[in-house]
Amino acid sequence: MQYDVFISYSRKDYVDESGNVIKGSIVEKIKNLLKDNGISYWFDEDGINSGDEFAHLIANSIKNSKVLIFVSSENSNKSEWTRKEIATAISYKKKIIPFKYDDAPYDDSINFYISDFDYIAYNNEDKSFKRLVSSIKQYLEHEAVAVNKQKIEKLEAEQKVLEEKCNETVDKINSIEKEICKLDKNRKERLLEHLGYEKKDGTANLQAKPNKKNGWLIAVLLLVLVYAVVISVMNFGNSATEEEIHTVVEEVEPVVTQPEEKKIEAKPVKKELKDITVKVNGASFEMIAVKGNGKIGDFLIGKFEVTQGLWKTVMGTTISQQRDKLDPSFKLRGVGDNMPMYYINWNDCQDFIKKLNSLTGKKFRMPSEAEWEYAAKGGAKGGVVPQGWNEDNSNGGTHLVGSKEPNALGLYDMTGNVSEWCRDKKGYEHVVKGGCWASSTENCKVTSRSYLDEMIRSDETGLRLVMD
């Protein structure tokens, strides 16, 4: 669903410590203001939750809104979530309108993003609210005009291409007619008879040439019927004989050929996959062989999630540098060579895989959701999926890979620690599996699925490699 406005605010400015809505709060006033002026909005009524599902909801709601109103206050300037929302809005190139409820200065990271933006100060309620509504409506009208202009330009471009094709078709027909006219009268009549033209007064005559403006469909049909035959005649030139013209016409007729005898070739025997250890630039990681079940083929999958050490070896960037691409003020949820990599979006993962393949000469890729889930359940062996690091035991961050019990295949952290990108997608959103350090136990089930936009970098999402 599309919205006009996304409201970014601090929960403390909307409800009291008991969770009751504060009557007359600035957030409630802005909601009512938008509603009264027919401006649709998205608003997180229930407060901040943890996990990829909520991050996806927030990101998707910002993506589907045209304007983000940042209700700036002492509380919201300290909120990590408002910083993430502003950063996401900027990545989607959304209009941001800061509404300063009090005189509290922007947090450094927020100041980095919106210091140059014009803001609306809440000093006179009537004037401030009128200016806010006016700013939103002016932008919405401007965007609507821009969208309509783009549509008109696209239609005009398509019309121009269509007219050019029509003219090209008519020019080809004219050229063909000229070549036919070069033939002597007798050969011309015989050829036109083969092409199905009627004789009038003992002479075969061409039909009227199609009009360039409204006859292009007729021209196309004529081209399809005539072009294959006549283009060959044109290659013969003026020296073509009647026999050659008959030969050209006959070549258009369908030719029935006998089916070739099928050759039986021995199918190559597929080698059985075995566990392997891959070395790259002094680092190594293990891949576990998974036997398929008929619906899923055999494949190799990483014993551990991609670690920060492996990422640095391949890409040359640290977890801090990846975090800084999003916002230097965001928290690091565990640092170390044997900690899982995070703050990586789907496109970052594709770059990593491409470079890893170049370095090793192998063909690594992301798992499909079906492969991931099959491996998480233990493959053909089956078995209980051990509990991973989640909101109940993670203490708010990631942990060393392999520090929990493995599943039946010897794979670690298939649930919890960081959730993992899969290659399956819906639009610009890709499947994310496994839950993470901030997810509930329910959302860490191997059958749970969430979607995340391919451009989102999160402190909750990493990667596990697969290879055929």
Report DSSP letters for 320-359, one per residue: HHHHHHH-TTSPPS--STTSBP-S--HHHHHHHHHHHHHH
Q: CA of 149: how far to CAs of 64, 157, 436, in Å?
A: 21, 12, 44
- Residue 248 pLDDT exceeds 60: no
DSSP letters of 84-99? HHHHHHHHTT-EEEEE
117 vs 97: CA distance, rounded Å: 7
197 vs 297: CA distance, rounded Å: 60
Q: CA of 424: how far to CAs of 414, 415, 447, 449, in Å?
A: 17, 18, 15, 11
Structural contact between residues 194 and 251, judged by C-beta atoms closer than 8 angstroms: no
pLDDT value, residue 244 = 40
Structural contact between residues 121 and 131, judged by C-beta atoms closer than 8 angstroms: no
Supply the pTM of this predicted model. Answer: 0.51
Strand, coil or helix: 468? coil
Structural contact between residues 23 and 13, judged by C-beta atoms closer than 8 angstroms: no
430 vs 423: CA distance, rounded Å: 7
Q: Which residue has the higher pLDDT, 235 or 62?
A: 62
DSSP letter for 73, please.
-
Q: Which residue has the higher pLDDT, 48 or 241?
A: 48
- Give per-residue pLDDT as tens, 127-182: 999 989 988 998 888 877 766 667 777 777 888 888 888 788 878 777 776 776 66
Listed in sequence order, the residues at least 6 apart from 153 whose beta carbon sits closer than 8 Å to its beta carbon are none
- Residue 210 pLDDT exceeds 70: no
* pLDDT band with cut points at 50, 70 and 90 for residue 383: confident
Listed in sequence order, the residues at least 6 apart from 210 whose beta carbon sits closer than 8 Å to its beta carbon are 170, 173, 216, 218, 219, 222
- Residue 335 pLDDT exceeds 90: yes
**Closest among 86, 91, 119, 93 to 105, alpha carbons compared:** 119
